[in-house]
Structures are given as C-alpha cells and as structure tokens.
Homo-oligomer: A and B are copies of this chain.
Amino acid sequence: MTEEPRPTLEAVAARAGVSRATVSRVVNGDPGVREVLAEKVRRAVDELGYVPNRAARSLVTRRHDAVAVVIAEPETRVFADPFFALQLRGISKELTAHDIQLVLLLTEGRDDHERVGRYLAGGHVDGALVFSLHLDDPLPGIIRRAGLPTVFGGRPGWPQIEEGGPGAPYVDCDNRGGAREAVRHLMGLGRSRIAHITGALDQTSAVDRLDGYRDALADVDQGLIAEGDFTPAGGERAMRELLDRAPDLDAVFAASDLTASGALRVLRERGRRVPDDVAVVGFDDMLAVAEQTEPPLTTVRQDIEEMGRLMAGMLLRGRGGAERGTEPVEPAGVVLPTSLVRRDSA
C-alpha cells in the first residue's frame, strides 16, 4: 500500500541549515528561538511536507488536538436518527473553530465498548464526548478507567455518580419541564384521555419525559402509557397497543418526533383523524421530521445542535483548566430550556 517514507526531523534541519534541536523547539512551539531561525524552519517544514510525530510528542505534552465522540448505539441507528447528525454538527463546528479533530468512534454494538475504551485510553485523543448512554452500559466505567476528560450528552443515570456532581459534567435539555408543557397544552385543548408513548426507558431522557407526563396529570391511568424506543417502528408498535387497550384516547404525547411519526402512520391506518379525533405532540423539533409529517407536528423544541456545541465547549475549557493544573470552572450540569412549537397535529 502507499508506504512512502515520511520526511524526518533531520531532513528539515538539513534543509533549514539549523540543528535538530532547533527544529524540535520550533515544532513544539518553544518561543525561545530567534525569529529568523524559526522562519527558516517553518519554510523547510512546508517545503518538505514534514509532519511531527505526534505519537512521540504526545507522551510528553499529552496533546493530540483531537476529541473523541462516542455514541453508545450501533452505527445503523446513528445514521438513521437525525438527532445524532444535529448534535454532531454542533460539536463539529465548535471543534473546527479551535482546529481540533473530531474523531467519531463507531461500534457495531455493545460488545465493542471494551475496544472503544482501549482506544480512548491509548493516548489518541485529549477528551471524550459521550452520548446516548443506557443505564446498564459498561461505557462510563470503561471511560473512567481511561482517565480522560469527559462530557456527557444527557444526564448520566448511573447511581454511583452523584447527579451533577464533580466528575459527571453533562449537557441536557429540560426533559421533564418540556414534557409537562406538552401535556398541559393537550389539556388546554380540552383533551382528557391523553396517552404517552415513552422513549427507551433505560435512558434518563425517556424517564424524565415520563415523569413530566405524570407531573401534569392529576390521575395517571397506567393503561394510557406504552413503551417505545425513540424510533418510528417503536412508535407504531406502541400506538397499536394503545388503540387496542384504550380506544377512547383523544391525545398522544410521544417521547420523540420519530416516535410521533410512527404513531401518526398508525392513526391514519386506523382511520383516526389528527388532530380532530386524536391530537399528537412530539419531542425534539427536528425539522427534517416534524415539518414532513402528515399533518405537520406540534412538538417540544430542544436545541440539539446548541447542546452539541456546548458539550464541546465545556470539554475544551475543562481541558484548558486541566493544563494549568486548575479545576474547571464550568458548572457540572447545564440544562437548556425547551419550548412548545405549535403546528397542525395538536
């Protein structure tokens, strides 16, 4: 394969007419080199296309100018759900602005998480952004052992780390408050048999949205709650279950826009008019989904791209702190507000 020798430090030194040590100092950003020499070295570096051996440098400086993003889902799911693309876009913008490489670690499934841990621990990245964690996931433990600065997307739910305490910085939206607002909106429309299709209940976002649904209702009818998994297929399954169990339902709060899109398909199939017979509210406000459904979806908006940007920003500032030997000044948990976006479905 393409195995051409890389220009060496020696070659740069020879071309620039300086010592090896001088090249090394310039390449490593040492300011104590006379500008005229530094300029010669930079020119030689450019001409030869020299790339310093960062693997060697990293042992000394621990800087790779790279940040890993770990999504605890199989890659088929990652590419099927625009949520991840939006969050990655926010992360990518922030990292790119700091000339830091985004390294996305893909896995086929949970069995691969040990290998992800080895890569994280292997001195290839300066920090990690981790999202879509599940409650019984081995990843947090693996990442902790890797000893890498980490920011989580979504409130971590494992019991051994105190919520929001040091060691578990995260960015989330107000899942519980947003869900409460969605259900109150449906109540305000006069609906009285309001069902809920949950997300994957091994994720805190799904649990928090379910709690918000319960908050809003004086009496909760367990028969009006069906478990989904944030996917359209899960929404379809749960909607069928609900219609069979509670044919008198007049509204549905779905835990995600994709879930709602599946529910809408089943309602149409069963001849229920939306919003006349059944009003539907989603969660996320992903335009690629919520504006395309039939009818367009009333939903709870969270700024997914901004959450990604914030996660990356927290990690970068924390990283700066660690370098100066100080603690990060950032609060451990950042929770963004949500807002209701009204379209035609409710």
Contact = CB atoms under 8 A, between A and B. Distances in A.
A322 B117 contact: no
Contacts of A115: 65, 99-101
A273 to B, nearest CB: 24
Which of A49, A55, A112, A118 has most chain B Cβ within 10 Å? A55
Interface in A66-107: 66, 75-76, 79-80, 82, 84-85, 88-89, 92-93, 96, 99-107
A105 B4 CA distance: 22
Nearest to A147: B6
Given A1-B151, A82-B79, A145 B51 contact: yes
A2 B150 contact: yes
A149 B118 contact: no
Contact of A148 (B2, B76, B141): B2
Interface string A106-148: 1110001001111101111001000000000000010111111
A112 B96 contact: yes
B66 A88 contact: no
A160 interface: no
A101 B79 contact: no
A1 B55 contact: no
Given A55-B123, A101-B116, 10 more contacts: A1-B149, A1-B315, A1-B328, A5-B147, A55-B55, A64-B119, A64-B124, A65-B115, A92-B107, A104-B105
20 contacts: A1-B167, A1-B318, A1-B322, A4-B145, A49-B141, A51-B121, A51-B145, A53-B121, A53-B123, A54-B123, A55-B123, A66-B124, A75-B92, A79-B79, A92-B107, A96-B108, A101-B105, A102-B105, A104-B105, A104-B106
Interface of A: 1-7, 49, 51, 53-56, 58-59, 64-66, 75-76, 79-80, 82, 84-85, 88-89, 92-93, 96, 99-108, 112, 115-119, 121-124, 127, 141, 143-151, 167-169, 315, 318-319, 322, 328
